[in-house]
Chain A
Amino acid sequence: MADNNGNSGSNEKPATKLLDELEEGPWPSFVTEIKSAAEANDSARDLLGQLEVSYEEKKSHWKHGGLVGVLGYGGGVIGRYSDVGDQFPKVAHFHTLRVNQPAAWFYSSEALRKVCDIWERHGSGLTNMHGSTGDMILLGTTTDQLEPTFQELTHAGFDLGGSGSAVRTPSCCVGMARCEWACFDTMKLCYDLTMTYQDELHRPAFPYKFKFKCSGCPNDCVASIARSDLAVIGTWKDDIQIDQEEVGKYAAAGLNIQRDVCGNCPGKCMDWDGRALHIENRDCVRCMHCINAMPKALRPGKEKGAVILIGAKAPIVQGALLSSVLIPFVPADELLDTLKELVQRIWDFWDEYGTNRERIGELIQRVGLPAFLDGIGLDPVPEMVAAPRDNPYIYFQTEKEGDQ
């Protein structure tokens, strides 16, 4: 029963003249990886063959997706069919499973081997560690193998990730597990959000995709501000913690503190007099540069929390967007409750007014941030804008009784 990919081993290895060139050079080769899997698996071997044809013809040989999945879920599997399936029958159906990664991509060797064993029994033996959204990607299997793979995965403690118009698998930086700059527990928040929204993740019911990303500090190692509909970026409210003795050591070691640290400060809030570093914290924008440059001497403050931003996306449909500020500061211990309340209001508004394939950021662009704020019941604050409007075309609202 073990082998359902029909690994007869009778077919010869495909000639891969072009791909072979990609086994040369110092960087690890994905071709070597596919060949390694192809030693034991015929679908990996046919993938190699089809890929060589793509390299020859300079075009993809995958057909437009198809609706495949596991019982009770509307997502987590990407259907993929070859348009040269007659030539490469073992990749005629070559679907991908998205598996929800452990927070910050930590694994035990045992867990990793368990997944490998499952994927050896049921799929191509090829993976992506990891996909762009964060999932572990199991690359390539047939429709009949999806449900058995899924069941084995869940019994090993893994579940599928999101796809389609659903909550996509949330992801987070390494946070408190190994970073002194984590201003909130990114791994816990990411896990809690994922568990809270299991139904929305597995059963697409939105106008389009919705991504969460949690970064522990403004360095934003998971690119939340560029890649998530809802970004949680750690920050602090009080003063940067300074160890003047350590600052002195950086200077003694040759760091030009005035030019390279103070000179690069976007808030122009610091000054080095050769003996001590002075920071006007009121003017600090919490950018992280000085802390990055002198991690032994400077640390984020003690009053920690996060900025909540909304609306980032890649170009499709109406153009790329970066996230913008929705709530300037939420204390770390209030993040989960605040987000749950906020997200429900955002989704209600999106459900009501979003059109097909309209990300939340595009909806806000279309109706305007003021209307969105009215809709979700959030008061406007100046932190939300780079500057107030510079055009006088104002939609004044009808004055309520009692207004002047």
Chain B
Amino acid sequence: MSTATVQSRLTDIGPPSYQKYLPPIVLRNYGQWRHHETLAPGVLCHIAESGERLYTVRAGSPRLLSIQTLRRYADLADRYCGGSLRFTSRNNVEFLLEDPARIEPLKKELAALGIPVGGTNNAISNIVHTQGWVHCHSAATDASGLVKSVMDALNDHFTHEDLPAKLRIAVACCLNMCGAVHCSDIAILGVHRRPPQIQHEVLPKVCEVPTLIASCPTGAIRAATVEGKPSVEVIEEQCMYCGNCFSVCPAMPLSDAEHDGLSIWVGGKVSNARSKPSFSKLVIPWLPNHPPRWPEVVEAVTKIVDVYRGEARRYERMGEWIDRIGWPRFFQLTGFEFTRYHIDDFKHAGLSYARSAHVRY
């Protein structure tokens, strides 16, 4: 047993101090950056008031990383960056250099390791995603495999800044949305489509019935006595398969290999630039769950990216482009079917109905 480490027990120390791992050039110019330029896709140059220049090389990562790969990153940081590196909010890894002559050699080493450089400006950045089958109990699909499949198809848009504006894709493997996909240019969301299979035998032992009933956003769960024991019943017409009951009660599993699948949402953003932050909207209610390569999902996402790239104006994010051309034309251009599932029928649904005579023909 490795209890040799019981020295003084430390708790509540918090994270390392915020400047502890900053490279010297960053410390020297902290808060004193003047502007930046893009030298190539994935390569930025930040210029400080002092005149000093900091070069960033941004590289893609699968997010799920072995310690072997992390040590490789550490070696690269030692050789090129004086031992500093950082990760981005979209799970890219960034190498920060002082010497521009070292950029190309670093890029060559990254290329040799199969690590793409890009993800800046009008490129697709890395896909923010969740755990999926790798580590989650409520996943309707895998996340890492979907990301790998989609990024393989879109890799050229990561390494080239060839889109009208930035494009942010996110994957969440159930409605819990640990990946908070709800404000992405393109969101891939795992969905269940069958009500929970209530395990009446174990339910009273592992769940609090009142908490369980309260967990349902549509009030579809009612107390019931089953074979003399306290349990619940689900009014199936009222269930929209959110999985919230399963989150509070393990006896309510709702995964179903045949009927689980993926939905596709578009047009959300978090940035305040130009238009206000907005939610992504449904464009495909369900696609089959086809590991290991999810061809239907890859095809749909590629289609959306291609149409957007061909039609949108410079600086137009996905949602801004659709606002301009209108949803009917979006469905026409992409060929996706518009169905009753696209029309909201939850709370505040009426706010999304077309409340004007503005119609494009």
Contacts and interface: CB of A to CB of B under 8 A. Distances in A.
Interface in B246-297: 246-248, 250, 255, 257, 260, 270-279, 289, 291-293
A252 interface: no
A158 B247 CA distance: 30
A97 to B, nearest CB: 12
Interface in A214-233: 218-227, 233
Nearest to A235: B272
Interface stretch (A108-116, A333-341, A375-383): A108-116
Contact of B20 (A96, A102, A233): A102
A287 B85 CA distance: 30
A116 B21 contact: no
Nearest to A104: B86
A65 B182 CA distance: 25
A174 interface: yes
Nearest to B141: A58
Interface stretch (A269-277, A290-298, A345-353, A393-401): A290-298
Interface in A170-227: 171, 173-174, 176-180, 182, 185, 187-188, 190-191, 194-195, 198-199, 202, 218-227
A226 B155 contact: no
B344 to A, nearest CB: 10
A125 B68 contact: yes
A218 B214 contact: no
Most chain B C-beta atoms within 10 Å of own C-beta, residue among A103, A109, A202:
A109
Interface in A314-335: 314-320, 322
B180 interface: yes
Contact of A26 (B137, B147, B155): B155
A403 interface: no
Contacts of A185: 31
A320 B268 CA distance: 13
Contact of B33 (A180, A225, A318): A180
Interface string B122-145: 000000101111111111011011
A202 B13 CA distance: 11
B10 A154 contact: yes
A102 B217 contact: no
Given A155-B10, A218-B272, A226-B183, A190 B133 contact: no
Size range of the chain B interface in the assembly: 35 or more
A109 B84 contact: yes
Contact of B65 (A62, A128, A187, A194): A128
A356 interface: yes
B21 A102 contact: yes
B19 interface: yes
Given A127-B67, A180-B34, A287 B273 contact: yes
A22 B31 contact: no
A239 interface: no
B5 A188 contact: no
Contacts of A120: 67
Interface in B17-59: 17-22, 26, 30-31, 33-37, 46, 54, 56
A37 B67 contact: yes
B264 to A, nearest CB: 16
B69 A36 contact: yes
Contacts of A157: 13, 16, 20
B15 interface: yes
A238 interface: no
Nearest to B149: A22
B6 A151 contact: yes
Contacts of B36: 179-180, 295
B11 A223 contact: no
B14 A100 contact: yes
Nearest to B137: A62
Interface stretch (B70-78, B101-109, B222-230): B70-78
A43 interface: no
A36 B66 contact: yes
Contacts of B34: 180
Most chain B C-beta atoms within 10 Å of own C-beta, residue among A30, A57, A155, A314:
A30
A362 B341 CA distance: 25
A245 interface: no
Contacts of B30: 176-177
Given A30-B62, A125-B66, A260-B314, A187 B277 contact: no
Nearest to A314: B177
Nearest to B38: A295
Interface in B173-189: 175-180, 182-183
A73 B9 CA distance: 13
B18 A103 contact: yes
Contacts of B68: 36-37, 39, 125
B91 interface: yes
A254 to B, nearest CB: 11
A130 B198 CA distance: 35
A95 to B, nearest CB: 10
Nearest to A171: B89
B180 A113 contact: no
A129 B90 CA distance: 10
B5 to A, nearest CB: 5
Interface in A259-304: 260, 264-266, 285-289, 292-293, 295-296, 299
B62 A27 contact: yes
Given A51-B134, A121-B2, A22 B257 contact: no
B73 A112 contact: yes
Interface in A96-148: 96, 100-113, 115-116, 119-122, 125-132, 134, 139-140, 144-145, 148
A111 B17 CA distance: 13
Contact of A223 (B21, B115, B183): B183
A242 to B, nearest CB: 13
B354 interface: no
Contacts of B5: 148, 151-152, 155
24 contacts: A21-B293, A26-B114, A27-B152, A29-B62, A33-B69, A64-B250, A103-B18, A109-B77, A113-B70, A126-B66, A131-B178, A132-B180, A145-B2, A148-B3, A152-B5, A154-B13, A178-B26, A180-B35, A188-B18, A220-B272, A223-B183, A295-B37, A315-B177, A317-B244
The 4 closest A-B pairs by CB, nearest first: A25-B152, A64-B250, A218-B272, A314-B177
